[in-house]
Amino acid sequence: MWGVLPIALKGVMVTLDPITTTFFRLSLAAVLMTPYLVARRRLPNYGKLRSPRLFFQLLAAGLLLTGNYGLYIFGLERTGPEAAQMMIQIAPMLLLLAGVFLFKESFSSTQWFGFFAFASGLVLFFNHHLGDIFIDLNDYGLGLLIISLAAVCWTGYAIMQKILLQEFTSQETMLAIYWLGTLLFLPFCDFSVLGQLTNIQWALLTFCGLNTIIAYGCFAEALVHIEASRVSATIAVTPLLTVSIVQLIPITGVTIEPLGTISLLGAFLVVAGSITTAVAKDKK
């Protein structure tokens, strides 16, 4: 789901602007999730929100995740699915580092090796675009920086979610966040071009909304059956899936990243570094 998401978003944005696309993604998830939770009697306990502390924690989590969605798609608009998927891998790495510095979690020497392999891989993958960021900042370089900021927002959200899980279930917080994001994006939407969407684009837009529910549902179910580190290691191969699809299948509106030997080595190091960092703790 996460591997094909940026490709689907790119297909929709040939016609639809990023804000309206994100609005539909969040609103569809909210509309579908609400009756499901009503039927299972798992709606959020809003009585808890009378506590100013819990209210502002949930609001902060919602704003951070909404910021992540918005910044990611603006960065994707300026780059491409492959670049966006590689750069957003910063998010889980930042979360691991937050665990070390904020929650005093252990971090083995092997994990540090994995982290530096990951960082080196990013530099190698974007070797032909380093000038776009550090020398002459252009639209592509700006897109990469925006996605980096999206990763920072996601890390902040994940930290807040970790705190909120002491009072709410993940479904309760996600429902509240989806509705918050829907309301925040609504005033900035442009619905005038909806009539220009093709049937394929409508299908892609629907998929983008369903993607959020399906992906997070599969993620939660996976955690029931295997260790979190194994789940993280599996998710780490997501960029390779995106790169493979874009490189092998011509898709309208999707720019193919020029990948040489150095970039391919970088992609391998990003994934290998992510996997090493995720699973090394089991081997201490």
How many CA atoms lie within 13 Å of 202's alpha carbon, on the beta-carbon side? 7
Reference 148, options 67, 220, 214; nearest CA is 67
The pLDDT, as a whole number, for residue 228 is 61
Q: Give the integer Cα–Cα distance in Å for 22 and 76.
A: 12
| Per-domain residue ranges of the chain | 5-106+131-232
pTM value?
0.87
Q: Give the integer Cα–Cα distance in Å for 32 and 61.
A: 21
Query: What are the Cα distances from residue 172, in Å, to 39, 49, 238, 259?
Result: 14, 12, 27, 42
What is the residue-level pLDDT of the chain in tens, covering all 284 positions? Answer: 889 999 999 989 988 999 999 999 999 999 988 898 888 777 767 677 778 888 898 899 999 999 999 999 999 999 989 889 989 988 888 887 887 777 677 778 888 898 899 899 988 988 887 777 777 778 888 999 999 999 999 888 888 888 887 888 777 888 888 999 999 999 999 999 999 999 999 999 999 989 988 887 777 677 667 766 677 677 778 888 898 888 888 777 777 888 888 888 998 898 888 888 877 764 44
Which residue bears the tokens 């910021």? 67
Q: Which pair of tokens denotes residue 125?
A: 């993958």
